[in-house]
Structure 1
Amino acid sequence: MNKKLIALALAAALPAAAMADVTIYGQVRAGYEYNKTYNSNMKDAGGKPQGGSEINDWTSRIGFKGGEDLGNGLKAIWQVESRLHMDGTDGDNKNSSDGFGTRDTFIGLAGDSWGQIRLGRLSDYPNMDMEQVDPGYYSGHSVGGLGMFTRMDGRHNNAIRYDSPNWYGFSYMALFGFDEARIAGLDGSRTNQQFVNIGLSYENAGYFGKYSYASWGDASNVAGSNKDWHRLEAGYNANNIYLAFGYQQIQGYGFKGSNTYYNSAIATMLNTNAIAAGSTQGVIDTSKLKTKELALTGGYTFGAFTPYLSYAKGYNATLGGSTVNDSGYDQFVLGLDYALSKRTDVYTSYGHVKWKLPGTDNENSLGLGLIHRF
């Protein structure tokens, strides 16, 4: 009898021992939103936004990570992170951001003196290491955060990323995303849309400065391709003070399927301009589209409360070197975070976007929700 009890105890203990180096982590984030935005599903027959109440997920996720000490300062590292949908929608793996292992998922090596290298689906530098100008929580339908300013930030399949160690506050990274599709280009030749990203950082005594450069290969030979992207962020985060400044410039060829334009109304205007200029497809694939934006965020923590005020400005775009009038925007966001504990917050925000394009409706969002980290 005692032998049977010992065997049962060992059977129960062995799985736990086998998983001793596995960490389970994540965030559960969701809230009520009132949205009147172009990204919302609530529109009239003409595509104009209509206000409505929504329960939305605010990018919840769950992950598993671990590592093994290989000796001599070398360690194997891995991670599998997945998107969750607390509102019960879009969780059927219809797009690349959903499903198992579709957030940062990798295997790699880390060294005490030389940094780390990872292979898999990996975040670019702005997505993982920047976004200080956008500290809020909101859904993709909302303008309750600076989602337009951070719209380019993302993850890349078939990627390899190197991160350096920190030298007196300085560090850098490099990411290369392989193009395994190699589609036919506008001239019929095989293209290579590889993605290259370099990031530089300095952080010391609460002050930070970060720069990111990204580019896409064969951009001028792919309809609506991004070409290059610069992002700069700087600020101060210490002693209850939160200040962040951001500036970015994005260039691409044409606009069909490109993230370089601000929203669908601006794309429609560019399409109209293209047709007027003689493009039979309504797409100027060989004309360079350039956008410029800045963002400012300030916050101050007193007790459990941290209010934030953000402002973002999109300047008029240029297409083929000519200014596209009334193609910019102004956005204001007021947010308030209340810490119920070290892991649970209540967050609320109000956002407003004013588009310069005549006939384009302003956008508004109001949100109130909960965030729990584990």
Structure 2
Amino acid sequence: MQKKNLAALVASLFLVPVAAHADVTIYGFLSAGIESAKATGNGNSANDYTSRTRVSDYNSRIGFKGWEDLGNGTKAIWQVESSLRNFEQGGTDDKGNAATLGTRNTFVGIDNADFGKVLVGQYDSAYKTLSGSGSSALAIDVMTNTTADNFGKTSVNGRGEARLANSIHWYSPNWSGFQLGASWGVDEARLQDNNNNSATDAKRLSLGLAYNWGALNLSTGWDRRYDTAVKANTNSIYNGAGNTPPDANGTSGKNTTMFNIAGSYKFDFGTYIGGYYEWATYDQVVSGQVKQDDWQIALGQDFGAASVKLAYGQLGALKSVGAGVNGDDFKAKQWILGGTYNLSKTTQLLAYYTKITNNAKSSANFANDPVYDSNLGNGKASLTAGNSPQAVGFGLKVAF
């Protein structure tokens, strides 16, 4: 990240005196590549995503952040971070979403040396930040931000991860290697529960605990989405107005709960090992509860400026399903083989191969730049259950 004084920059451009009231940093990266991708195997070739060449953006972004010293070890802090990931399509992704200002972690807050940070705005949950793909110390998402990224709510691993809008967060200082975090995503909509005509409160609470001791990193997280259920014998969350009644607007008293544990260690000779486990419980709209787990193991090896990375993850069977439903149909697995080469401190070459194998009722997809075979170009874009995405690509990342 290159630090620039925005006040000085503005003054030099417009030749007017501007007083700098805070330290401001401009940061981000542009990253993209060329890949071949496909998704087949659902049993009906009409629903196949046939092999094609894509130009993929690897989660490019730009951010502005700053702070002001308030004295007594306290600072006012702020950040505006925006996605640039759709630049290869002129700013609109495969679901019709346009890149706009402040789409990523954007907040205002207070940072105290003794108490920690309090953030208000939009930010990754403590579950993700301290015990998931958002943790740079864990580094369990081995090809993060590329198509081979496998942590996300519709991916093989990290299905409890989220960026919470309308949220409040607290992160503690580092206490002898320990750090705590808590997030509260408020529900301002309070949609109606069509089952009993009451207003729902689909708030989200998230907790994270991380421990670092040299090259050893351990963590755990808990996350709950209140008044949020799944349709019977599925793992598909129903909480939006586009769903079919009677569960169109959530279900009072029904919750979705996630728990994870993770760990990693990097040896002095450059070998990295990591592991992740997640357990989900889904209350069903009518009655009962289904469960599902996922796990991943990761390996890596540094060779000077180069790194080779390998990961394997599984999404397990849907448990506690009703008669006539095969829980194994919801299984998925993913292989990731990748590598990076640092040309400089800010420029990196990268390459990867990844394949997801979905069973008959599973539609796990890439966390970044997923493939869709239905309703391409609008919010209903989806991957047919049973189709298995795979991609091979190479690209370039330039940070600033």
Q: C-alpha deviations, 1:167-217, integer Å up to 9, x for none?
A: 110110111111000001132210000100010010011100111100012
**Per-residue deviation at 1:96?**
7.2
Equivalence for 2:238:
224
Q: C-alpha deviations, 1:45-74, integer Å up to 9, x for none?
A: 732221111001111110000010001111
Contact 1:29–1:86 (CA under 8 A) maintained in structure 2: no
Q: Return 5+ residue gaps in structure 1 as ranges.
A: 1-7, 39-43, 255-283
Equivalence for 1:335:
338
Equivalence for 2:396:
370
Residues in 2 aligned to 1:95 and 1:74: alpha-carbon distance in whole angstroms:
42
Q: C-alpha deviations, 1:334-370, integer Å up to 9, x for none?
A: 0011111111111100012223339934332101011
Question: Which letter does structure 1 place at the counterpart of 2:164?
Answer: H
CA RMSD of aligned residues (A): 2.9
**Per-residue deviation at 1:321?**
6.7
Contact 1:288–1:321 (CA under 8 A) maintained in structure 2: no
Residues in 2 aligned to 1:216 and 1:337: alpha-carbon distance in whole angstroms:
36
Residues in 1 aligned to 2:314 and 2:389: alpha-carbon distance in whole angstroms:
14
Report which stretch shifted further, 324-333 or 342-351: 324-333
Equivalence for 1:63:
63
Residues in 2 aligned to 1:153 and 1:166: alpha-carbon distance in whole angstroms:
23
Q: C-alpha deviations, 1:126-166, integer Å up to 9, x for none?
A: 43333232121455xx4x23242134422111100000011
Residues in 1 aligned to 2:350 and 2:389: alpha-carbon distance in whole angstroms:
20
1:158 correspondence with 2:166:
yes
1:234 correspondence with 2:263:
yes
Residues in 2 aligned to 1:346 and 1:60: alpha-carbon distance in whole angstroms:
15
Alignment of 1:191-202 (within 5 A): 191-202=200-211
Higher relative contact order (CA 8 A, sep 6+): 2
- SS of equivalent residue, structure 1 residue 127: helix
Equivalence for 1:250:
280
Residues in 1 aligned to 2:14 and 2:360: alpha-carbon distance in whole angstroms:
67
TM-score, length-normalised on structure 2?
A: 0.75
Report which stretch shifted further, 129-138 or 107-116: 129-138
Contact 1:191–1:221 (CA under 8 A) maintained in structure 2: no
Structure with higher Rg: it is 1
Contact 1:328–1:356 (CA under 8 A) maintained in structure 2: yes
- SS of equivalent residue, structure 1 residue 325: helix
Distance 1:20 1:191, change over 3 A: closer
TM-score, length-normalised on structure 1?
A: 0.80
1:123 correspondence with 2:124:
yes
Residues in 2 aligned to 1:27 and 1:156: alpha-carbon distance in whole angstroms:
22
**Per-residue deviation at 1:218?**
2.1
- SS of equivalent residue, structure 2 residue 330: coil
Question: Which letter does structure 1 place at the counterpart of 2:395?
Answer: G
**Per-residue deviation at 1:93?**
12
Q: C-alpha deviations, 1:203-258, integer Å up to 9, x for none?
A: 0111001111000122359972561011211011352222110000122234xxxx
Equivalence for 1:49:
49
% identity of equivalent residues: 29
